[in-house]
Structure 1
Amino acid sequence: MSGATDQTKTPSLSTAQRLAWLRLIRSENVGPHTFRDLVNHFGSAETALDALPDLSKKGGKTRIRVCPVSEAEAELDAHDRFGARLVAMGEPDYPSHLRHVDGPPPLLSVVGGDVLRLPKTIAIVGARNASLSGRKLAGQISQDLGSEGFVIVSGLARGIDAAAHEAALASGTVAAFAGGIDVLYPPEHGQLLAQILKMGGNAISEMPIGWKPRGRDFPRRNRLISGMALGVVIIEAAKGSGSLHTARFALEQNREIFAVPGSPLDPRSEGANTLIRQGAMLIRHAGDVLEALSGRIAPELPFDQTFQSGASSDGYEASEPTDKAREKIISALGPTPVELDELIRFSEEPARVVHIILLELELAGRLERHRGQRVSLLY
């Protein structure tokens, strides 16, 4: 494997553990951050599932929907029927760089071969209504990077995404979905997807099977794209486009951002040109990308996303917050996001106690997480 700090490596899950992981991430108000905090605190997804109702009640919500066993089993069966697999973070087929972003998905739906295992990955994204020259350039960069052993990651969208995928069929490419792994979008790319899979590439999604993508799901998809890659190449991105969201995620994840300049008269190039003004690396061809990476096959300064393998020695009861601690934390929170470290210092409580209180509030739907390890109170 690459030189990435492999702090999330865990053995493959048993069938029972995979079912419990799926139930936990599909339960109400449980996202990737909450999932990890729950597993790290309680030692296993099974134990965390049992604790959800009590935690939610203490946070102010009397009832919380815990994903039933039958529903999770049905989703696993649907994966089998579709020819997909559900991959947990730390297992071999989980994208190596995605494990080192802030709040990685604990489970991914995966179809296809094993190029996800390869550490040399570059994302290429851009305009859906791309120009002919933009598509040609995307294809050339994709093909040239592929010939150097890079896997190309993109979103299977029209325009630049499709051109990048098509040019990387022989060398390996990954398509990230905004909806369920069985919900193709756009629908006219069925043949392209079939070629990707036939050539050993992959399609991935963090959404439940059968999920139809909504507008807000595409930024989540873009976060996967940048998280899987060492860097992101932006070609013909208009102001406010999804490609700029991908670039923003790349910046947060400490990935390289490469932008192809375009005519200032073409609105499709406004976003990429702005990125260059803000410090993104101007590139003309694949050689510029290769020179910038200089043989590097792992992102620098990966996030520590460790899952603890067992319950803590002090146990849940030993770190059970007092009512006074809850009152102090809740009174310190408001609609303005505050840094988690600042909240811990202010509370004068152990970090473990503060995390439990935040878990209670989040499971009750009262807490919102923000970039930069910040949180705010919804009500």
Structure 2
Amino acid sequence: MADAGLFPEAARAAVRDSAARLRLIRTPTIGPVTYRQLLARFGSAEAALDAVPLLARRGGGRPPALADPRAVASEIARVADLGARHLFIDDADYPPLLAQLENAPAALIARGDLAFTRRPCVAIVGARNASAAACRFARELAVHLGEGGATVVSGLARGVDTAAHVGALGTGTVGVIACGIDVVFPPENAALQEQVAAQGLLLAEQPPGTEPRARHFPFRNRIIAGLSSGTVVVEAAPKSGSLITARLAGEAGREVMAVPGSPLDPRAQGCNLLIREGATLVQNADDILQQIGPIDPRMVRTPVNGYEGQPLLDASDGVRRDVERLLGPVAVDELIRQSGHAPAVVSMVLLELELGGRLEKHAGGRVSLIG
């Protein structure tokens, strides 16, 4: 508030910039990677908003319907009323490990103390219908990890998640939810969610008022994995969200750990499978702390005041034809090699096609042309 009084124009510019960023982020066809490309190319969210319709037409499609500025203004007011704040990916206090993900959320909504993300973070995840023994183990594990200086991260779900948060309340915990910051799921965790926000940190990617949907949980899981140096699975079925979190952690280059269980218990099969596939077997907090080790601050880089990498370069009609002719499905690196054009130019063509609704993305980083 002091800044607003001393530097009113700068404060107004900051408000406009935040609103413009949210308009980009809340536009359904603009994901985290596209958002970062637009900011890198145009330097500001306001300039990117002005450019999106032209880029979409260059890509041969109709301009996307940008988010309603009135809805964005309402979201900003609602977040402030909740005692929360928007946290953009190039803010200095954006969680540093999460910022390393290629698809890191362009914005988070945070309630609580962001300092907990600057400590070594360990995710503890597991079955919602976990056994009493698994819940007790997760709770005690969280207590000992906190005593060892780690922040415990989990998803505020039933079972193992709940036990992990309860165990870490006194030392530091981060809850990541798949709904709006003002929505509680499951309902019985209302008091716990409030405690996490008051004593630790509560994070949401979805706008306030958003009810949890099945498609939201994998996005939530990538945040849990991305925040953490390592992920521990305490109890999980072979096909479960916990294994998705473990897979995402592995893909991000983080430690994947699992607690072994009886082969007669279906809830232990996921953990035993992870161990068979190379996850580290852990039995106590010391095993986990030894595995993740201390974080060297020099190894953690957070984009601040802009985006790293070269801005995208405008492409000629000839380059667009070359790129469209080669779209396969094909990996982007291979597309660049075969086209013979600069990566920044090819990336610009792909951005135009995506904004025009003519680019389809496939597993393994491959892309193809629609229509």
Q: What is the TM-score with the length of structure 2 in the denominator?
A: 0.91
- 2:142 maps to 142
Distance of aligned partners of 1:303 and 1:92 in 2 relative to their CA distance in 1, 3 Å threshold = closer
Identify which range, 323-332 or 232-241, moves more after superposition: 323-332
Identify which range, 41-50 or 60-69, moves more after superposition: 60-69
- 1:281 maps to 280
C-alpha contact (below 8 Å) 1:96/1:119 kept by paired residues: no
- 2:220 maps to 221
C-alpha contact (below 8 Å) 1:103/1:305 kept by paired residues: no
Counterpart of 1:102 in 2: which secondary structure? coil
Q: For 1:309 and 1:264, how far apart are their aligned partners in 2? A: 48
- 1:132 maps to 132
- 1:322 maps to 316
Distance of aligned partners of 1:370 and 1:205 in 2 relative to their CA distance in 1, 3 Å threshold = farther
RMSD: 2.3
Q: For 1:308 and 1:372, how far apart are their aligned partners in 2? A: 28
- 1:102 maps to 102
C-alpha contact (below 8 Å) 1:141/1:285 kept by paired residues: yes
User: Match of 2:187, as an amino acid?
Assistant: P
How far residue 291 of structure 1 moved from its aligned partner, in angstroms, is 1.6
For 1:137-286, list aligned pairs within 5 A: 137-199=137-199, 201-286=200-285
Q: How many residues align?
A: 359
- 1:365 maps to 357
For 1:28-177, list aligned pairs within 5 A: 28-177=28-177
C-alpha contact (below 8 Å) 1:247/1:257 kept by paired residues: yes
Distance of aligned partners of 1:250 and 1:345 in 2 relative to their CA distance in 1, 3 Å threshold = same
User: Match of 2:159, as an amino acid?
Assistant: G
- 2:348 maps to 356
C-alpha contact (below 8 Å) 1:22/1:72 kept by paired residues: yes
Q: Which runs of 5+ in 1 are unaligned?
A: 1-12
C-alpha contact (below 8 Å) 1:115/1:151 kept by paired residues: no
Counterpart of 1:14 in 2: which secondary structure? helix
User: Match of 1:121, as an amino acid?
Assistant: C
- 1:7 maps to none
Counterpart of 1:331 (choices 305, 325, 333) is 325
Q: For 2:297 and 2:251, how far apart are their aligned partners in 1? A: 16
Q: Which runs of 5+ in 2 are unaligned?
A: 1-12
Counterpart of 1:174 in 2: which secondary structure? strand
How far residue 293 of structure 1 moved from its aligned partner, in angstroms, is 2.2
Q: What is the TM-score with the length of structure 1 in the denominator?
A: 0.89
C-alpha contact (below 8 Å) 1:100/1:303 kept by paired residues: yes
How far residue 67 of structure 1 moved from its aligned partner, in angstroms, is 1.8
Q: Greater helix percent: which structure?
A: 2
Summarize deviations over 1:90-118 as a string: whole Å, max 9, x none: 32442121011122112100112234442
- 2:10 maps to none
C-alpha contact (below 8 Å) 2:52/2:63 kept by paired residues: no
C-alpha contact (below 8 Å) 1:40/1:307 kept by paired residues: no
Counterpart of 1:183 in 2: which secondary structure? coil
- 2:334 maps to 342
Identify which range, 366-375 or 226-235, moves more after superposition: 366-375
What percentage of residue pairs aligned between the two structures are identical? Answer: 43
Summarize deviations over 1:259-300 as a string: whole Å, max 9, x none: 000111111111110000000000011111112123335697
Summarize deviations over 1:216-257 as a string: whole Å, max 9, x none: 110000000000000000011101100000011001110000
C-alpha contact (below 8 Å) 1:44/1:309 kept by paired residues: no
